Chain A
Amino acid sequence: MPSESTASAEKQPALLSRGSTLRRLVGIGVVILCVAGGFLYLGGWFSPNALTPARFVDAFERADGVFSGFRRNHAKGVGVSGYFESNGQGARLSKAVVFRPGRVPVIGRFSFGGGDPNVADATNAVRGLGLLFWLPDGEEWRTAMVNLPVFPFQTPQDFYDNLVASQPDPKTAKPDPEKMAAFAASHPATVRALGIIQSHAPSSGFDNTAFHSLNAFLFIDATGKSIPVRWTLAPVQPFAAASVAATAKTDKNYMFDALIASILRHSLQWHLIITIGQPGDPTNDATLAWPEGREQVDVGMLTLDHIESEETSLARDINFDPLVLPSGMAPSEDPLLSARSAVYSQSFTRRAGEARTPSAISLREVRK
């Protein structure tokens, strides 16, 4: 073979046969489909029944309806602000900046559970308090707390199944009692948690309500040691049992009105109490309370001295994602935490793009 032809053959490879070209094209097609299919698989396209944030929020919407521009859960609320004064006692538990002695500004939102922003106030409804602590180094701590001492559901799936079971029947506009009973029968942890919840009498208003972190978290100290914790906001305002006489018959916003009147009279205060878990205390199951007698540390005082309608409050446009944590705090292995973060984000994204209607607790309500 002359060397010249070898060189030209290298530059210009011999033509492929038609069959060979076709085989190679098919091979390329298969590889491309595998890559595309891999993306679709990761995106859950081949598991249409898996629980996703979107399907979770769909279930909230089916249970309560869609109210344009409102949160899909804890829709009815009012904005508050104030500050947290750390006493420094938390610094040995967590290196988070919020626990250094001193004051940080806080904004928050009191709410009722459920997706209806116009629901009548009721003492037995779940009360929520979302808080955002602005830390001096630019970090944030957000927490979304409720008045329940334990949460009724162990897993996101349990929560979802309960939402589905309690969806109003189109004929009666009420949840189907058989489905509710079937859910209870197959979820003993929920029944047990509801027993604990019902043994705690609700207080008369938002101002004398204790709020709980629901899930366990981890605190990490300056040496890197982590401990399981839960936290509670214990009200300075004295407990008064919810009165049977006080109902929403005359004013469906009567509990919010009482909160507004109370905060305008004097600022409201809560002790932030950290409960420290011991080895063996469950950190992955929000339906279980920790045993009595666990060490509790009062790390400072939350003061709320300002209240605003959602029309002007920053709180309406804040996602109180419980996994916005400063360095020094971390999620526990509780499966609810990541799911809460995902579902809150989905709810936030949906309402962000929607037209808005005024909140029930309007500017006028706050001023009257």
Chain B
Amino acid sequence: MNMASQQTQFTVLMRILHWLMAAMVLTMLGIGVAMVASLGDYHRLVSIHRPLGIAILIVVVIRFVNRQLSTLPPFPASMSSQERFVAHASEVLLYTLLFVLPLIGWGMLSAARFPIVLCGPLHLPPILPHSVILYAFLRRTHTVLAYLLSLAFIAHFGAILFHTLVVRDRLFSRMAPWRVRAR
């Protein structure tokens, strides 16, 4: 066995889940920020926002479990321990937000006693008691965390551009949607 056979990429399933999540989150952030400013498209957007949020919640749980069961490719040797710490912390932040934001959305609609309709007659049960004060708090928290997620998303995207274009340490190849051969 030589270095060439060492795992350099996330597993196929992990990469599929990552890029699926990326597309869902980008769509979700765009819909979220557009719908609160929209009159004519509000209903259409909110009707996508709710089921998409629940889909993100499901995918993030699958990703988390799958990640615990998988071996991860190492960081490039060029990354310092501080850089690795920051990379790891940003992953924890992203996972946490992707888990918490849909739950808060679900919770705030529950507190507003608003039906959580996914599609047709399919709907979710409330997870919190009816309380408009609780709703007001969660509604504000949902906005604050959504902005935080946008910033974390942009930072994550910026960091990978920096590593790929400036540091050129092949960090991106770990998560590339295509197959990258070890060398």
In the assembled complex, A342 has its CB within 8 A of some CB on chain B: yes
- The distance from the CB of A238 to the nearest CB of chain B, in whole angstroms, is 35
Cβ–Cβ contact A319 & B112, under 8 A: yes
Cβ–Cβ contact A353 & B133, under 8 A: yes
Please, which residues of chain B bring their CB within 8 A of the CB of A338?
A: 38-44
Cβ–Cβ contact B33 & A43, under 8 A: yes
Q: CB within 8 A of A24: which of B39, B46, B135, B166?
A: B166
- The distance from the CB of B146 to the nearest CB of chain A, in whole angstroms, is 10
Among B1-56, those with CB < 8 Å from A are 29-30, 33-44, 46
Cα A12 to Cα B115 in complex, Å, equals 56
A138's closest neighbor in chain B, by CB? B123
Cα A342 to Cα B133 in complex, Å, equals 20
Cβ–Cβ contact B158 & A32, under 8 A: yes
- The distance from the CB of B152 to the nearest CB of chain A, in whole angstroms, is 13
Please, which residues of chain A bring their CB within 8 A of the CB of B168?
A: 13, 16
Cα A348 to Cα B41 in complex, Å, equals 19
Please, which residues of chain B bring their CB within 8 A of the CB of A24?
A: 165-166
* Known contacts A317-B132, A327-B120; A28 and B40 CB within 8 A of each other: no
Cβ–Cβ contact B43 & A314, under 8 A: no
Cβ–Cβ contact B39 & A339, under 8 A: yes
In the assembled complex, B161 has its CB within 8 A of some CB on chain A: yes
Measured as residues with beta carbon below 8 angstroms from the partner, the interface class of chain A is 35 or more
Cβ–Cβ contact B39 & A53, under 8 A: yes
Measured as residues with beta carbon below 8 angstroms from the partner, the interface class of chain B is 35 or more
Contact with A along B112-127 (1 / 0, CB 8 A): 1111010011010100
Please, which residues of chain B bring their CB within 8 A of the CB of A51?
A: 39
Please, which residues of chain B bring their CB within 8 A of the CB of A349?
A: 135-136, 139
- The distance from the CB of B93 to the nearest CB of chain A, in whole angstroms, is 18
Majority secondary structure of chain A interface residues (helix, strand, loop or mixed): helix
Q: CB within 8 A of A36: which of B34, B115, B154?
A: B154
Cβ–Cβ contact B158 & A21, under 8 A: no
Cβ–Cβ contact B166 & A353, under 8 A: no
Among B71-104, those with CB < 8 Å from A are 78
- The distance from the CB of B25 to the nearest CB of chain A, in whole angstroms, is 12
Q: CB within 8 A of A342: which of B30, B38, B154, B157?
A: B38
B166's closest neighbor in chain A, by CB? A24
In the assembled complex, B140 has its CB within 8 A of some CB on chain A: yes
Please, which residues of chain B bring their CB within 8 A of the CB of A348?
A: 112, 132
Cβ–Cβ contact B115 & A139, under 8 A: yes
- The distance from the CB of B70 to the nearest CB of chain A, in whole angstroms, is 25
* Known contacts A42-B34, A317-B132; A327 and B121 CB within 8 A of each other: yes
Cα A192 to Cα B37 in complex, Å, equals 31
Cβ–Cβ contact A352 & B136, under 8 A: yes
- The distance from the CB of A112 to the nearest CB of chain B, in whole angstroms, is 22
In the assembled complex, A39 has its CB within 8 A of some CB on chain B: yes
Cα A54 to Cα B37 in complex, Å, equals 8
- The distance from the CB of B74 to the nearest CB of chain A, in whole angstroms, is 14
* Known contacts A10-B183, A140-B115, A335-B40; A352 and B154 CB within 8 A of each other: no
Cβ–Cβ contact B166 & A43, under 8 A: no
Cβ–Cβ contact A16 & B161, under 8 A: no
In the assembled complex, B162 has its CB within 8 A of some CB on chain A: yes
- The distance from the CB of B79 to the nearest CB of chain A, in whole angstroms, is 13
In the assembled complex, A52 has its CB within 8 A of some CB on chain B: yes
Please, which residues of chain B bring their CB within 8 A of the CB of A4?
A: none
- The distance from the CB of B87 to the nearest CB of chain A, in whole angstroms, is 17
Cβ–Cβ contact B42 & A39, under 8 A: no
Please list 23 pairs of residues, one from A and one from B, whose beta carbons are closer than 8 Å in the complex, sorted by A's number.
A16-B168, A21-B166, A24-B166, A25-B166, A38-B30, A40-B33, A53-B36, A53-B37, A53-B39, A139-B121, A139-B123, A156-B40, A314-B130, A317-B130, A323-B43, A324-B114, A324-B117, A335-B39, A338-B44, A352-B135, A352-B139, A353-B136, A353-B139
Name A's B-contacting residues (CB within 8 A).
10, 12-13, 16, 21, 24-25, 27-28, 31-32, 35-36, 38-40, 42-44, 50-54, 56, 97, 137-140, 156, 314, 317-319, 321, 323-324, 326-327, 331, 335, 337-339, 341-343, 345, 348-349, 351-353
A-B residue pairs, 6 tightest by C-beta: A353-B136, A342-B42, A44-B37, A43-B33, A352-B132, A338-B43
| Contacts beyond the supplied A317-B130, A348-B112: 14 A-B pairs with Cβ under 8 Å | A10-B183, A16-B168, A21-B166, A24-B166, A28-B162, A38-B30, A42-B34, A43-B34, A138-B125, A139-B117, A139-B121, A314-B130, A323-B43, A324-B114
